[in-house]
Amino acid sequence: MKIFAIGALAIAAIAGSASAATRTINFDQDALGNSISDLTGVSTQYAAWGVNFTPNAFSGGGWASNTGMTATSTDVGGGYNPSLGNVLHAFNADWLNEDGDPSFLISFSTGITSISLDVIGDTGGRDGLQTFVALYDASFVNIGFFDASGIGGVENISLSGFGTAFYAAIAHGDFNDWVGIDNITYTEVPAPGALALVGLAGVFAGRRRR
């Protein structure tokens, strides 16, 4: 009886420690807690969390082939609040040289079940394109499409109930839009080991009741 009790407690403790993680990417610190300097290009700063950023999620048509992605607190466009610190934005020279509507892709090595982000200064621009998020599963099949609901200032897009996504493509405005992105918060699916441990704990509990 005592051996079972100790084993069950150990299983519960391990399963609890391996539960789903919720993380926030704020472009002020990287995944290791190091400060991100103003006007730093964003790419692998969150690789320790299994997250990477790449430009030009969409191609062809009016999409840019040279999307600018910079963490900045000094070149931020309209609607910015200094309390936000760094935001993901096209630096002035990048924005002026973009050859179409910008977009970028976030890749997650562990699937996510929810994501939210702040959108700064979305005005709709010349093309009338609102900032939107398109979510994809592990096979890159689209499982959701969501856009910002307002115009200007700081808006929030919060998404859940879409299943499990491994990619988030974000179009942040259009050619005439100077849009920033901040506070990307996401929840990972529980690690498979955690789920297995929870199931194992149930098996032990069932045996004890017998």
Question: 50 and 135 share a domain?
Answer: yes
Top pLDDT among 103 and 17 is at 103
Res 54 pLDDT > 80: yes
Q: What is the rounded distance in angstroms from the CA atom of residue 60 to the CA atom of residue 65?
A: 8
Question: 107 and 154 share a domain?
Answer: yes
Q: Are 144 and 75 in contact (CB under 8 A)?
A: no
Give the domain range for residue 119.
Answer: 20-187
Residue 162's pLDDT is 94
Q: How many residues does the chain have?
A: 210
Res 208 pLDDT > 70: no
Rg from Cα positions in the chain: 21
- CATH number of the domain within which 144 lies: 2.60.120.260
Burial 60-95 (b: 16+ CB within 10 A, else e): eeebbeebbbbbbbebbbebbeeebbbbbbbbbebb
Q: Which two tokens stand for residue 152?
A: 């200007």
Question: 97 and 149 share a domain?
Answer: yes
Question: 3 and 57 share a domain?
Answer: no
Residue 95's pLDDT is 74
Mean of the per-residue pLDDT values of the chain: 81
Percentage of residues of the chain with pLDDT beyond 70 = 73
The domain total for the chain is: 2
- Nearest 5°: the CA angle 82, 156, 72 is 35
For range 191-204, the mean pLDDT: 48
For range 118-139, the mean pLDDT: 81
For range 178-187, the mean pLDDT: 92
Res 11 pLDDT > 60: no
Top-confidence range, 87-101, 118-132, 175-189: 175-189
